[in-house]
Amino acid sequence: MSQNELIPRFLTKSQLPLIRKDINAVVKNKQYFLTLLLVPLLFTVVFPIGMVLITFMIPIDTSDFTQILAVIPESMREADERLSVFNLLFNMMLPLFFLLIPIMASSVMAASSFVGERQKHTLETLCYTPLTIKQIFQAKVYAAVVMSLSVTYGGFIVMIVVVNIVLGFLGQNSALPSLTWLFVLILLVPALSLLTIVLIVKTSVKSKSIEEAQQKSVFFVLPIIMVLLSQFSGLFLINQWIFGVIGILLLTLSLVVLQKSMGKYTYERVLK
């Protein structure tokens, strides 16, 4: 099989060097690379370990445990109260924290796209390559998607391993992800990655600094935080089917936004 046959149809061979360059630029930059590692480590290692320890080590009759248990509807409770709390945290709360990973990873990667080229004085040179402005935009979006999904899915594998190791030490049964996690990984992660990337890449064309471009990711972080607060307060709980519906809607929206965004750029707009 030739190299050309290995390239997806939505890519051209001439876009691959630009995709590799963007990925390598982030990997070789210690500040960006550490950010890509620290955020996933927080939500796939530190937070899950704390979640498991709190669930299975604090006394059941404490006020904190009772408050968490009170949030769980009767229909979702198990015979074992600790298992009920664990299922709530692992399958309903943790997925929301987990969604911050693709947003952060996407923002780091995407913010360095046009702003990074401008700061290194290579943007004008890039625009004079054989690639069209649409192909340049596509390549930068695809590079950010590859990095974001790699970090997110890699973090998920680490999280499952870490959670089950801690459960094993505590003498508990292994935990398997619920259907909620399937919807999160297949629908919500790609959708939020694409939406974050497209928004920040569009912003980075006019931004003077990478930090300024990254600030746009707050539009996706705030809704997740609000939902988390609602979950913890018991105001409402998002079940697996709501995760699925929201995932389908956001993924559809992200693909539409991506398609429309690709036709809005000209060399003059990028270089001004």
In which residue ranges of the chain is pLDDT below 50? Answer: 1-8
The SS3 call for residue 272 is: coil
DSSP state of 170: T
Q: What letters, b where the CB count within 10 A reaches 16 and e where it falls short, cover 246-270? A: bbeebbeebeeebeebeeebeeeeb
**What is the pLDDT, as a whole number, of residue 155?**
94
Cα 73 from Cα 80, distance rounded (Å) = 14
Per-residue model confidence (pLDDT) at position 4: 46
Q: Locate tokens 């943790």: which residue?
A: 94
Q: What's the pTM?
A: 0.81
CB 53 within 8 A of CB 166: yes
Task: Give 57's contacts (C-beta < 8 A, 6+ positions apart).
Answer: 170
Supply the pLDDT for residue 46. 93
Instruction: Tell me the pLDDT tens digit for each residue of 71-93.
Output: 776 666 776 778 888 888 888 88
Position 123 scores a pLDDT of: 64
What does the alpha-carbon distance between residue 21 and residue 29 come to, in Å, rounded to a whole number? 12
**231 with 92: CB under 8 angstroms?**
yes
